Amino acid sequence: MIFKPLNSPNKKIPANLKPHLLKIFILFLLVVFLSAIRSHAAQEDNIEEEVKNAQEASAAAPRKGNWVPVPIPVSNPTIGSGLQAVLMYLHPKKRGEESSHNATSGLLGMYTNTDSWFTGIFHDDYWANDRYRFTGIVGYGELNLKYYGVGDSPFLSKYPIDYEFKAFLFVPKFQVRIPATDHWFGGLQYLFIDSDSVFKLSQLHPLLPDFYGHIRSAGLGLLTTFDSRDDNYYPTKGQYFEAKWTNYGESWGGDYQYNKFRTFLNYYQPIADPIVLALRANADLSSGDTPFFDLPYLDMRGFARGRYQDNLAVSLHAEGRYKFMPRWGAVAFVESGRYGEDYDGLLSSRTIVSYGGGIRWQVTKNKKMNLGIDVAFSTDDQAIYVQVGESF
């Protein structure tokens, strides 16, 4: 096979190749980024013992936190390819609460080739030896997305409508450990979204006007959680369960009255020393006047978020995780799901299947936080993902 330069005067870049050029460039940047991390890791390992000794020597001194800047390439079919950056502050643990999780605060920003961007702040905190938990995020973003309709819409699945979505987001969550238990928590979560959207109907026909809408959605939810994972970054055993019911409406500051219920169960089982089997079951349903952006959807890889959405969505996920080197790993996964207007519609709907694999790189020796690249193929589409952490 003979390859000609892309700038050859007799040849043009194929139209179907153009959307993938930026993804290829982003993947190249990630490879360079990982290579730089790997070379830095060797120096990091050599000084870890010295740092540990210094920390022990200064145990009586006031504890200080650390600022950690993290630039990360991002690529997925929902928002496109680009760059996200996180500036995290790792809070020092209080004396006497070493068994609690690490508290983290951060600033985040994201921009992609679809002119989508988001900026915000977040905070995770744990008090009284993990008796109380708090998570919160506030942010604003402007996203350019595609609308595939509700249910199985053959026309919109082939010709989705472009729309702009501008939204202010505020989501605090507070939980407390249930007395006489080790892993059960209960609590409340509040969600507030103030959004403006523009559906570009003119792309279907020049005579059609664009549709403008403003939606304010707010709700208060009750939730319970069971968490016995051995690690929240890269769990190798244990279970993680959550059930949440949320009521939305004017009582909480929203415009639409509806209810949502969501539950999931993650199960992690070591098969052999370097191999972990991760399983997930997820169910999501809504009733009432649910806004289009808050409808249940199939949370799977291989297609854009919101492509398959309706009042009810269920999915099953299985992923094998294999560490072939201390900091390098690979994953293979298969996922399936159904969605419908109601229970009968769910039973009669078609099954959406996705499968694929990926590579993982553990950034530091003592923290199991991974950077990863996944390639996924689904019933109707395919996608590449650049991400931080695991999918579940």
What is the 8-class DSSP label of residue 64? -
Give the number of C-alpha atoms closer than 13 A to the C-alpha of residue 152, restricted to the C-beta side: 12
* pLDDT score for 195: 97
User: What's the pLDDT score for residue 129?
Assistant: 82
* Of the candidates 15, 312, 304, 337, the residue with the CA atom closest to the CA atom of residue 163: 304
Please give the pLDDT value at position 23.
Answer: 54
Q: Say yes or no: domain 65-388 is CATH 2.40.160.50.
A: yes
- Going from the C-alpha of 107 to that of each of 70, 104, 137, 367, the distances in angstroms are 10, 10, 10, 20
Structure confidence at residue 96 (pLDDT): 66
Q: CB of 312 within 8 A of CB of 297?
A: no
Mean pLDDT, 10 residues at a time, the chain of 392 residues? 37 47 51 48 48 47 68 82 85 69 85 95 87 94 94 83 96 96 96 96 86 95 94 91 97 96 98 94 96 94 92 98 95 97 93 96 79 91 85 92
φ/ψ region of 341 (left if φ > 0, alpha if ψ in -120 to 50, else beta) reads: alpha
Cβ atoms within 10 Å, residue 25: 14
Which distant-in-sequence residues (6+ apart) come within 8 Å of 98 by Cβ? none
The DSSP letter of residue 102 is: P
Provide the 3-class DSSP secondary structure of residue 303: coil
